[in-house]
Amino acid sequence: MSSSTDTELPFYKPFGNEMTLFEQAYQNQLPVLIKGPTGCGKTRFVAHMAARLGRPLYTVACHDDLTATDLVGRHLIGDGATYWNDGPLTQAVREGAICYLDEIVEARKDTTVILHPLTDDRRILPIERTNEQLVAPPEFMLVVSYNPGYQNLLKSMKPSTRQRFVALRFGYPKSKLEQEVVIGETGIDENMAKRLVNLVNALRRLKDHDIEEGASTRLLVYAASLIQTGFAPVDACRAALVEPLTDDKETVDSLMEVVLATFGQ
């Protein structure tokens, strides 16, 4: 879990009306659900919007062992006494912050139960262990995200939960915008950014290979960062755009053929 009150706007390039929708959801006290593949900018977008709105941000990376207690809080023992320790969700409600639950479907199912009262007109967080019922202030906002490509029967969001949110769908940016993102993030020259984006698009089209998901914009930025600091382009692309996609050596070799064709080696 991480929190931030940094007012400097993290770099973000909009692809549509997502910033306006997020702002309107905030003004109308509506929770937001963001759907999209790995590394497409979901987390960066939330960080940007929190800074833009001037609100503290609590980010929780959800995982299989995350429970409702982890989000709400628990009693701890210290110095011979028992005291209550707020979880990130409770802290966000108390402070009127934005709470972002990344990959919410990875968390245990009991977590969604505590979200329901916060995502309807009640906007309350009951804390049974302290006998409190917190009313979320107008500034509080709940944002969750997940990757629809990884959903299955065991890890999916129930319609009764999903329909409590205003939803945004993210994808990988169009080529021109993705070039601008790479340049803005790394300072790499326009020609190299264009070549890298063309390469990523070629890799994403290889659907017949053993690849669960295409190379992300995040990985593209990693490759550009390595090249910008002097790493050889082919080696940078292997380390950042190919090896993270698969463990299968034959698939790696096939992807590297595309890399070599792109950089003429």
Q: Which of 19-33, 152-166, 216-230 has the lowest mean pLDDT?
A: 152-166
Interaxial angle between packed helices 249-263 and 190-204, expressed in degrees from 0 to 180 and rounded to the nearest 10: 140
CA distances from 95 to 4, 86, 102, 121, 241 (A): 12, 12, 20, 19, 40
Tell me the pLDDT of the chain averaged across its residues. 90
Contact predicate 117/124, CB 8 Å: yes
Interaxial angle between packed helices 42-53 and 18-27, expressed in degrees from 0 to 180 and rounded to the nearest 10: 50
At 1, is the pLDDT very low, low, confident or very high (cuts 50, 70, 90)?
low
Mean pLDDT of 194-200: 95
> Nearest to residue 132, comparing CAs of 146, 114, 150?
114
Q: What is the pLDDT of residues 18-59, one digit of tens each?
A: 999 999 999 999 999 999 998 999 999 999 999 999 999 999
Buried b (16+ CB within 10 A) or exposed e, 89-99: bbbbbebebbb
Q: Which residues pair with 3 in a beta bridge?
A: 58
Mean pLDDT of 238-255: 92
d(CA 63, CA 81): 30
Mean pLDDT of 92-108: 94
pLDDT value of position 80: 75
CA distances from 146 to 97, 238, 257 (A): 21, 27, 32
pLDDT value of position 45: 97
pLDDT value of position 265: 57
Q: What is the pLDDT of residues 108-123, one digit of tens each?
A: 888 888 999 999 999 9
**pLDDT at residue 156 greater than cutoff 80:** no
d(CA 144, CA 127): 21
Question: Pick the residue with more confidence: 7 or 21?
Answer: 21
Q: What is the DSSP letter of 151?
A: -
Interaxial angle between packed helices 217-228 and 175-186, expressed in degrees from 0 to 180 and rounded to the nearest 10: 50
